[in-house]
A and B are shown apart, each in its own frame.
Chain A
Amino acid sequence: MNTLCESADVIRTENLDVGYDCKAVIRNVNIEALRGQTICLIGPNGAGKTTILRTLAGSLAPVGGSVYISRANIKNIKPSEQAKYMAIVLTEKLHMDLTSVYEVVSMGRVPFTNFFGRLSSDDHRIVAESMQAVGAAGLSERQFNSLSDGERQKVMIARALAQEPKLIILDEPTNHLDIRHKIEVIRILNRLSAERQMTVILALHDVDIAVRSCQNVLMVKNGQIVAQGRPEDIVQTETIGNLYEIDGASYDSVLGSFELCYQNQPEVFIAAGAGSGVPFFRSLSRLGCGIATGILHQNDVDYNIASAMKLTVVSERSFQPITVEKVAAAKAAIAKTRFAVDSGFPVGDYNRVNIEVLRGYASSGGRVYSMRSKDEIARLYPDVAVATISSISDLHALLPEAQADARGRGR
């Protein structure tokens, strides 16, 4: 009898404690996933993500509480039944000598084939469809051991699909993959949950991918679920920093990405806006050059990045005209630097004052480099000397000279 009915309630845990040898590693895991939902476990290495996944997959008995698969307690489900409902993709690298991709994928039919494991025409069709679903149809006759890491992972997902599961559990499926394959794997999983209404539970290292692709995120740290819910609700700049105990980088929850932090004394002032400053922030910071920037509106992407990088930022509230105080602050900041850069930001009514700040600096003897065309410079800076640069490399070429010059002046 099929104990696993077509319930929308795919997997649920009740006060689940997971661990080894009756010792709980993580207590009180309560998760619930309906058909077509994705749950993503994030957290530092060794936090116990794999332990949770193994317990959900039934290969590790719960230390306390219960796991329900389609409303049935997992300990009452026959392994042969479970195999038709749930498939897994593990993180360890498989070594399969003299075995073709097709043979590996058709292993997924093991729960369905007869005693001798002979594949029926239906089985062959499902194997072919599974390979198509992950875009691995062309790999069919290749030797499994000759595949790249990315191809391998797709094949392992195809093998899991051949089990025609309602639930698929993956441990670090993007591990060791290059960025193209990372994205490919995630898109495959998203498509499976959307089109096939498959429930996906996975552990991920990459927070940026997790928050973009999963409806539910579970943060695991130090034997605890520290937060759980929609990524938009729980993933904030500080939560991620705390979760991974990151030093030297910070997470921007709006952009969903990390920036390395630099806290050098500002040597260069970058007048920026609308993203024009980001390449300067990053490239100069890499050289160890301290940066001050301004005046940025707080709804400007340059502001997000500059704050995440912990640069010195003079900012104004979103959509507000820049106040006199901020202009004074910017003038104070630029005065302390060796030279200034005009990133070529779009100039409009609300930020024209930045040009004034640069002009003031130039007219008092400061060096200004601008990314603008000669015509534009003539128009914006009619009365002061401003040098042109056409790329970041130009600025880099200038830097030793500029820095040496600046240092000379400093002494």
Chain B
Amino acid sequence: MLDNVVDLSRLQFAVTALYHFLFVPLTIGMVWMLVIMESVWLMTGKQVYQDMTRFWGKLFGINFALGVTTGITMEFQFGTNWAYYSHYVGDIFGTPLAIEGLMAFFLESTMIGLFFFGWERLSRKQHLLVTILMAIGTNLSALWILIANGWMQNPVGAEFSYQTMRMEMTDFAALLLNPDAQAKFVHTVSAGYVTGAMFVLSISSWYLLRGRNVEFARKSFRIAAAFGFASICSVIVLGDESGYTVGEAQQTKLAAIEAMWHTEPAPASFNLLAWPNETRMENDWQLSIPWVMGLIGTRSLSKEIPGIHEIMAQNRLRIQSGMLAVQALETVRRERGNSAALAVLEQHKKDLGFGLLLKKYTADVAHATPQMIAAAARDTIPRVAPMFWSFRLMVGMGMAMLLLFGWAFWASLKGNFQHRPRLLKLALWCLPLPWLSCELGWVVAEYGRQPWTIYGVLPTRLSVSTLSVESLYGSLAGFVGFYTVLLVVEMMLMVRFARQGPGSLGTGRYDHETAH
């Protein structure tokens, strides 16, 4: 089916990233729940809170192991499969990854050992400190990864150097304070908090439905309901903020998400539902709400949001300008001192990436035909239907979770939730929602960045390593095989311990005590 290295590399990256992202959000969210539970234990001295920390910690550990396993893949993969990318942007992109290791991942990984093994050897306060440091490490880790990712979405603080043939950092502060990175960080970690809360809420509901470990489950449910309600509100508010920054930096992504083929007079209407038609480049039908899109995307009543056709027209001009940049760069690489070519390069440098899009159609970019230019301009728009539906499903599930957590929080304030089987059943059946919406969020952010790895700078096609198709099939098969086995093993353990409940701690205080 797939016969080229670019598509296979993309598929392998998507498979491994989506898989990694099954484990990360739960880690990010659960770790704070552990901090809350352990803090309550320290404040009240009630044994049940320590048991909660240890039991939920056990499930956290099962999940964490696979997060670590699959995380190493992500770091390897830039080098193994995206070698030209690594060379072209390593000067900027490598830095947050390395700092993530130094500042965050070391802390998190060292403390997690003490979290599990230090109960008998640390004082209560010391152990809580360990748990807090583990949580801080985990969240800082997310921060640095999203700073790196934010730069892929909105490459600020960097400039192309023709001598070294790569992007180089010019402003570290701009990289750190990149609005895309900030918005993504808060949105993504909040989504993780929701995932952690849903996990605890669902499993606690299951115990309550069965009438097992009632006190333990009630206390867990309450913490999860409150934490989850706060988090889902923050996901939605900050997700909206994220939409705003996307609109600023990546017009193509916003237009594709909204299936906005044409620029409308401000403020634009919002397509609640539509049927995007890729070949006609129109919606077959649409259900719109006036004004809303303009408000979300621009925070104003007067600014226009460009539609797909208009963006393509702008991009065609940028591609034409980029052709000059590519041609000048080729000359400068051949004859280092050529000042005329250098001047042209300087003038058109900001469109260099757009010129490189033509490499898909011809090696001789300088003589690309108008048809090629038109095709490259069409390529700058990601496919609309997957974006449109991924986004709507993600938001729909977010709203469903808002209702669930709202209800659960209200019921937990009133204290009668354990006698509300409908709420408990709903909480149980909603368990997959945060994972599904996190994965869809990844699709919106990363599929929506296509055809670029670095938006506007480096086309995905040029980012790959020089590898054979056979190697790619081999490695992809290996990953799929390993990951399938690992997922089966992980799920088996997770279900086994979740079913067994706190009895698995072997304290003699809970139902279903066994030797292991």
A-B complex is real = no
Q: B residues engaging A (CB < 8 A)?
A: none
